[in-house]
């Protein structure tokens, strides 16, 4: 059974613009407008899933999709780092920030370690490998990066080499046995 999975990163938020760990913040006005424009480029959708985060649900609404909320597609729980900037943490707690980036099993923020995000995203992908048709998943850069690692069977350290922008789209296909990255021809 042929399946297509379009991962879409939620629209822009203030946290994106200011390099802060996200809380449950809304989209910026421009992010909602851009999501509406992106919707015109998405062809037939058989099912849609969304993170429970407000910014993801607002992106789905702006795209005009009827999506099911899925906790497995939720953002990493950044614990007490929510709302804080990378710069601030680098200045006030560089050891904890460094530990978090080097040891993906560490959670110095008191939230969820990245390895747990990798596991739940991989489990979700495995459970949906047999879904036919076109699925859209609106979620977060962290989740999409984890999905890419899962498909490539790449080492966890490769997580830091992937950049997903707001409203970035990553395409995957499945033959029911495995997922693979897909780079569609934009000229179609």
What are the tens digits of pLDDT across the range 57-114?
999 999 999 999 999 999 999 999 999 999 999 999 999 999 999 999 999 999 999 9
Res 40: pLDDT: 80
Res 39: pLDDT: 84
What are the tens digits of pLDDT across the range 124-139?
999 999 999 999 999 9
With the C-alpha atoms ordered 57, 127, 113, 89, is the resulting torsion angle positive or negative? negative
**Length in residues, the chain:** 188
For residue 177, the 8-state DSSP code is S
What would you measure as the largest C-alpha separation in the chain, in angstroms? 51
pTM, two decimals, is 0.95
* 146 closest CA partner among 162, 132, 130: 162
Res 110: pLDDT: 97
Are the C-beta atoms of 30 and 59 separated by less than 8 Å?
no
* 55 closest CA partner among 101, 10, 3: 10
> Which domains are present in the chain?
3-178 (3.40.50.1240)
């Amino acid at each position: 059974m042929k399946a297509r999975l379009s991962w879409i990163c939620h629209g822009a938020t203030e946290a994106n613009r200011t390099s802060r760990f996200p809380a449950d913040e809304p989209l910026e006005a421009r992010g909602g407008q851009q999501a509406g424009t992106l919707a015109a480029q998405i062809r037939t959708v058989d099912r849609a899933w969304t993170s429970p985060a407000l910014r993801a649900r607002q992106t789905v609404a702006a795209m005009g999709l009827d999506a099911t909320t899925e906790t497995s597609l939720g953002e990493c729980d950044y614990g007490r780092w929510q709302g804080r900037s990378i710069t601030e943490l680098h200045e006030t707690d560089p050891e904890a920030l460094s530990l978090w980036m080097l040891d993906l099993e560490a959670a110095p923020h008191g939230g969820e370690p990245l390895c747990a995000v990798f596991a739940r995203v991989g489990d979700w992908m495995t459970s949906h490998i047999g879904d036919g048709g076109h699925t859209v998943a609106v979620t977060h850069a962290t989740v999409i990066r984890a999905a890419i690692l899962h498909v490539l069977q790449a080492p966890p350290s490769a997580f830091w080499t992937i950049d997903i922008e707001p409203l970035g789209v990553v395409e995957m296909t499945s033959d029911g046995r495995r997922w693979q990255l897909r780079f569609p021809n934009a000229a179609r």
